[in-house]
Structures are given as C-alpha cells and as structure tokens.
Amino acid sequence: ALSPLSVPSDGPAEPPGEPAGLSRRQRRNRQKQRRRQQEPAAGSGGECGSGPGPPEPPVPPEPPGLPQAAPEPRSGRSAALRARMEERLLGARFRYLNQQLYTGSSRDAARLFRADPAAFHLYHRGFEQQVRRWPERPVARIVRYLRRRPASLVVADFGCGDCTLATSVKNHVHCFDLVPLTPRVTVCDMAEV
C-alpha cells in the first residue's frame, strides 16, 4: 500500500517520511538530524536514540592501580564552548565600557568607575584581549622609541593602566589613570591636567 506521501504529485517529490510542504533547506536539516541520531555519539556508547544497530564490543576494564582515562569529550567541548562564550562576553562588556568612556565626559567615566570598581578591571582585561589581536601593540612601539632616547627624559603616561611603559624603560615615568591598578599610578582626570 502506498502512503499519501509517496503518491506522485505535480511538484517535486517529497522523500518518504517527510511532511509535505517542507523547503529544500528544511529537508536537508532533517536529514542531517537523522544522520546525527544514527551515528553513535563519541563517549556515549551509542545510547542517544540511535536505535538498533550492531552491538558494540565490551570495553575491557583497566587493570587496578592504573588511572582510568576519564571519558570527557563532552565536558572538554563544553568547557571550550564556555571559555569562548566568556571571551565574547568580556569583549562585549569592554565595547560597552569603551563606548561609555568615549561618548561621555571624564567626570562621567570617573563616576562610573567609582560606582563599580570591578568595571575598571573588566575594562582593562577586555582591552588586553582586544590588543592581543592587533599586529603590534602601541605601547611596544613607544617602548622601542624611548629605549633609543636618553634615559634622562621624563615621561608622562596618561591612561597607563598597569604601568607597562614604566616597567619597560629606564626613564622616569609618571603614571596617571582614573583608577589605580598598581600603587605606582597617580589618580587623575586628564581633562583637569
């Protein structure tokens, strides 16, 4: 007996078992889902609804005294996914804080960081994350420039963050920022200097 879905029609033939009216993309996605369900998942022993299939050979137990390998492919993947998501979230928070700093006054920025001291640390972590993607760090170029100049030059570093410049050159460096990340920083509003 023919099912209603297998009866030929004027339009494109629907694969057996597929509801009528699915787009080509939807049919492909359903096929992918079925294939994934039929393939045994790594580390799960094929228990995720794969249906009847050839029995898997039993895994011999490891001898006592030897550490057993933890079957963690899923937790490893989920940890990697979590780390990527946390990195994205950190980037989003940095962009938000960066926008607040560039669109508001320095008084607003100081108020923001006084109200939420963790935001300043978050901003600097996000900044470091962004800088890692740059072909060259600007502070590295400034360090190279200063190392070719006399050590007697006195340098002012506004927005110094963690004082990378001061710790990288022999020059006397005055470090200024809205919030001190290190004791070396002098708290300052650049608009008032």
Q: In this model, does residue 146 exceed pLDDT 90?
A: yes
CATH 1.10.10.2150 positions along the chain are 76-134
Query: pLDDT value at position 39?
Result: 66
Query: pLDDT value at position 19?
Result: 60
- pTM, two decimal places: 0.55
Query: pLDDT value at position 150?
Result: 96
Query: pLDDT value at position 117?
Result: 84
Mean pLDDT (the chain, rounded): 77
Q: Report the share of the chain in percent with pLDDT over 90.
A: 26
Q: Which residues, 6 or more positions from 159, have their beta carbon under 8 angstroms from its beta carbon? A: 176, 177, 190
The tokens for 161 are 């963050």
Averaged pLDDT, 111-134:
88
For the segment(s) 76-134, the CATH number from 3.30.420.40, 1.10.10.2150, 3.40.50.300, 3.40.50.2000 is 1.10.10.2150
Q: Give how far Cα 99 sits from Cα of 22, 28, 93, 128, 129, Å.
A: 44, 42, 10, 16, 16
Query: pLDDT value at position 40?
Result: 56
Averaged pLDDT, 63-87:
68
Write out the DSSP string of 118-134. Answer: HHHHHHHHHHHHHHTTS
Q: In this model, does residue 131 exceed pLDDT 80?
A: yes
How far, in Å, CA of 64 to CA of 60, rounded? 12
